[in-house]
Structure 1
Amino acid sequence: MKGLLAILAMVLAMPLAAQGSAPPAPYAYRQLDDPAQEAAARELMHTLRCIKCQSQSIADSDAPMAGDMRHQVRIRIAAGEEPEAVRRWLMDRYGDYVSYEPVMSATTWPLFAIPPILALLAGLIVWRRLRRRA
């Protein structure tokens, strides 16, 4: 019975072991041949957040996930996609968190609205206190 459990544990652990041994994507660490396309890809990569790292851009991260994202950026730029279309595709795939440049949407509008409201409220409080003293 113990032998059967050991075999079952090894079979269930095989997918986990395979994940760490996968080779990096071809364009994870290789630049594009066209310097203009590589420049556009690198500029975009500096504005995208690695979803595995602590707020590090995919251009600066050594995580395998960041390598896969760099690969996707480079092959899509090489295929002629605009950087903004690539950003939108990555945001659709991984969520708004992946971009350092936030967009206003139904879920993020409070993040844009609350700071001006708080500044207005603070200004109103200061104005009323100064008016009372005068």
Structure 2
Amino acid sequence: HEEKLLQSQIKKSSEDVADANSRFQQTQTSTQQKETEFKSKINGLQGMVDKAIRQSSENAEKLINQNQDFELKLSAQKEEAARQRKAFRSVTLLEKRELQKEAWDALNKLENVKYQLIVATKEMKQYRLSSQAL
């Protein structure tokens, strides 16, 4: 009678071990699936971050180049305005009126370039701040 009781307990223990082993396998499989999903999400996010950093860097470089172009244009406009002022002093009254109009046009262009330079500088600062935030 004790032998049957022992065999029954052994059978019950074997079933409990098999059940626990099955639950362990299911848990391990589920954990591996979640780990794979998590790694996939991390890789996707890393790709998005890399792309955003690359775009911010490219945009900042473009703004820096635009800023340099504006500075060159501004310098050329200043030189042209100075040349026109010098020439203005040595011509007749009629020529002075014609050159005065040209000087005003050049000055307006200069002011326009100055404004564009200010806007580009602000945009460049914003891109730098946003790229630092990343």
Same fold per TM (> 0.5)? no
Return the structure number with greater relative CO, CA threshold 8 A, min gap 6.
Answer: 2
Question: What is the TM-score with the length of structure 2 in the denominator?
Answer: 0.29
Structure showing greater radius of gyration is 2
Question: What is the TM-score with the length of structure 1 in the denominator?
Answer: 0.29
